Structure 1
């Protein structure tokens, strides 16, 4: 089902074997059939709604259509039927993302992932080498780092404040506790401790833009540097000074400029 919300975006629902996914698209000002859409992958507590106006501005800046969707269990998508397993990052490529590109008739695409979505973006590029034209990672984790685990625990403790949980419920409704538990518990699973992108990165066949804030509270610059070191394709690393874990909100202009330049250089 597709519903037009205003002149600049459309809402859609994508069916999967485990439930329906909520998706939204922004066509951009110069859309043609030859421009692959940029597909956004949200972070561990994120949703389509939490991208705010960034997708529209990204479409305006690049001329490419932009599509975002809520992973199962997040935002307006259906509840997740169980727990996230240790393979949830690589599973996204063959589960929800597969349904999105099939049902929305997406051929070629650029994938943009924030935080854990960045790891998913790399796995997706590996799974779809002929369709993925480029990867943009923002604040992506490429392995399990103590800074990430410690930051998650600090954030978990902040949700003992009822006002913080209400903020999460604003975006995820009754699924908010599941979203928080999925983030905290999955990253601390013993079987997840060895997760990394070391096997995926050498198999990527498209250029990569890695954006990272120097003050990222959930990951050091070791993450993008690992992407640079292991990928066998051109990688552009943009380190943003005085920036934390959400560059597209903290330094939107710099992020848009970096993405625009990266995409222009691809042509």
Structure 2
């Protein structure tokens, strides 16, 4: 299903008109190279384990949504995505919204809960960033090499089609820009009042556990961490059973 937010066409994974709005809705926010399809069956497994509504969407420029309207991102692009998400929640008239965000999506979840606390009941993040680390930049540099020398571009093209070059370039150029080195959203965290579950792989190639510690320590609402040994940046793919179990317990107790 497509929906227009202002002048931008966004692709939704489900038709929310079929939702039982007396139940919570878990809204899945994809990572910097992701889209609806790359969540695969994870949202439906969460739906089965919780009996909640589940919804994901392709942000502008990703998957089957409209192409980027700009050729260069601003430093506050994630804050702008939080503002778009808040508009989406209002347009769909969603209540009892729980945000599940991976990587960039996790940061968007944090910003949304900070800027619009009344719209968010709880948040789960995986590999979210609140400041720039050398590990993040090194991971992106290695991804740039893989994009040129392996089949990574072909894999992404399967999902992003004609948007692929822009998706990858906008991500890499923004984070590797010298002007982005001091990007930091820690000052937003104290405004987060809802409970949060902060998940990260111990061997996350895009960030250290300092990200987790900062989020848990600085949020005002009850915040708990889940640090998983021997995995990297995508816990819901690397240890799906554990993430489903912990997520289910967390949301059922909100």
TM-score normalised by L of structure 2: 0.94
Pair 1:191-2:171 in alignment: no
Which contiguous aligned blocks of 4+ residues in structure 1 show a shift greater than 3 angstroms? none
Pair 1:86-2:75 in alignment: yes
Cα shift at 1:161: 2.8
- Give the equivalent residue in structure 2 for 1:203: 191
* CA distance in 2 between partners of 1:187 and 1:18 (Å): 27
* CA distance in 2 between partners of 1:90 and 1:148 (Å): 19
- Give the equivalent residue in structure 1 for 2:95: 107
Q: Counterpart of 1:216 in 2: which secondary structure?
A: coil
* CA distance in 2 between partners of 1:132 and 1:209 (Å): 13
Q: Is the 8 A contact 2:86 2:119 kept in 1?
A: no
Q: Size of the alignment, in residue pairs?
A: 251
Match of 1:149 among 126, 137, 149: 137
Match of 1:160 among 128, 132, 148: 148
* CA distance in 2 between partners of 1:256 and 1:227 (Å): 21
* CA distance in 2 between partners of 1:35 and 1:194 (Å): 40
Could you give the per-residue CA deviations for residues 203-261 of structure 1, whole angstroms, max 9, x where no partner exists?
A: 01100100111011111111111101111221110111111110000100000111111
Could you give the per-residue CA deviations for residues 120-176 of structure 1, whole angstroms, max 9, x where no partner exists?
A: 101111122112000101111121011001000101110113622111110100110
Q: Is the 8 A contact 1:13 1:21 kept in 2?
A: yes
- Give the equivalent residue in structure 2 for 1:9: none
Q: Is the 8 A contact 2:8 2:66 kept in 1?
A: yes
Pair 1:138-2:102 in alignment: no
Q: Where does 1:1-267 land on structure 2 (aligned, <5 Å)?
A: 12-25=1-14, 32-82=20-70, 83-95=72-84, 97-161=85-149, 163-266=151-254
- Give the equivalent residue in structure 2 for 1:8: none
Could you give the per-residue CA deviations for residues 12-60 of structure 1, whole angstroms, max 9, x where no partner exists?
A: 2121334201011388xxx743222011110000000100000100111
Specify every segment of 5 or more residues in structure 1 that has no aligned partner in the other structure, as ranges: 1-11
* Structure showing greater relative contact order (alpha-carbon pairs closer than 8 Å, 6 or more residues apart): 2
Specify every segment of 5 or more residues in structure 2 that has no aligned partner in the other structure, as ranges: none
Cα shift at 1:98: 3.0
Q: Is the 8 A contact 1:26 1:56 kept in 2?
A: no
Q: 1:128 to 1:108 in 2, by over 3 A?
A: farther
Structure with the larger helix share:
2
